[in-house]
């Protein structure tokens, strides 16, 4: 059964809809859906406001919007390796050298779709089997309490419960996780190339399904209902 995030969202004070990343065999349940124009480049995050309005972005191997999304979500190269390295290192200054950029590019593993259709958009309980990650769009205080909540069940020897990897915005919604079966969260929307589509005070907190289930299970013993968090909320209300 899908977890119910209502209690978590109320405690965090989050009214922005959650956004799921789905890998699905059938596009029919994901309506209404929009897709990039076939002959025009479009960033995944150009559809952010449509996600919040209840629509899904539909991507396929034939229509993925931009070259970065094509590479990280489908493993499709729209430029040569050298062209990618030169663009990212020399033109955009993302790494100190072409050699470092090449190492990052070669070490990265594109997502491998299980089905023909990838979707970004609202959570649907009846499609939970095909859900891969959940993204919270949050302000700094909300990010802080969710990061603390993500650490709640974590022991020192466990995989890092929260990571903040270098990568594009769409990479940070799925492909940056080494294992989607591990309870893990990621601080995202740090790619300045896509941030113009988001409000200036909003970041992303993307979680795997196991971490989503952990967060939804947080109860009155956790920080969500203790004085550190309630005192901060009261201080913000007085400001």
pLDDT tens digit at each of 239 positions of the chain = 899 999 999 999 999 999 999 999 999 999 999 999 877 789 999 999 999 999 999 999 999 999 999 999 999 988 999 999 999 999 999 999 999 999 999 998 899 999 999 999 999 999 999 999 999 999 999 999 999 999 999 999 999 999 999 999 999 999 999 999 999 999 999 999 999 999 999 999 999 999 999 999 999 999 999 999 999 999 999 98
CA gap 175, 177 in Å, rounded? 5
CA distance 63 to 234: 47
User: What is the structure's pLDDT at 39?
Assistant: 73
For the record, the structure tokens of 60 come out as: 């396929």
Beta-carbon neighbour count of residue 26 at 10 Å? Answer: 11
Burial of 16 (0-12, 13-18, 19+ CB in 10 A): middle
What is the value of pTM for the model shown? 0.96
Tokens of 16: 């922005």
Is the CB of residue 134 less than 8 Å from the CB of residue 18?
Answer: yes
Q: Which residue has the tokens 């023909």?
A: 116
Domain boundaries, the chain: 6-75+110-238
């Amino acid at each position: 059964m899908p977890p119910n995030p209502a209690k978590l969202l109320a405690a965090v004070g989050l009214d922005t809809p959650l956004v799921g990343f789905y890998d699905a065999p059938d596009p029919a349940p994901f309506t209404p859906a929009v897709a990039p124009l076939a002959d025009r480049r479009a960033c995944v995050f150009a559809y952010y406001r449509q996600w919040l309005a209840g629509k899904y972005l539909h991507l396929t191997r034939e229509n993925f919007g931009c070259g970065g999304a094509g590479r990280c979500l489908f493993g499709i190269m729209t430029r040569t390796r050298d062209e990618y390295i030169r663009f990212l290192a020399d033109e955009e200054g993302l790494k100190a050298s072409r050699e470092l950029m090449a190492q990052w590019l070669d070490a990265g593993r594109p997502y491998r779709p299980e089905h023909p259709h990838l979707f970004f958009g609202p959570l649907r309980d009846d499609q939970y089997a095909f859900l891969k990650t959940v993204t919270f769009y949050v302000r700094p205080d909300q990010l802080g309490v969710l990061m603390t909540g993500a650490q709640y069940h974590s022991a020192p020897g466990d995989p890092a419960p929260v990571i903040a990897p270098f990568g594009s915005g769409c990479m940070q919604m799925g492909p940056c996780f080494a294992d989607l079966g591990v309870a893990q969260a990621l601080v995202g929307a740090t790619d300045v190339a896509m941030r113009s589509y988001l409000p200036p005070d909003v970041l992303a907190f993307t979680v795997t399904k196991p971490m989503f289930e952990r967060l939804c299970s947080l109860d009155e013993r956790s920080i969500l209902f203790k004085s550190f968090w309630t005192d901060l909320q009261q201080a913000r209300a007085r400001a």
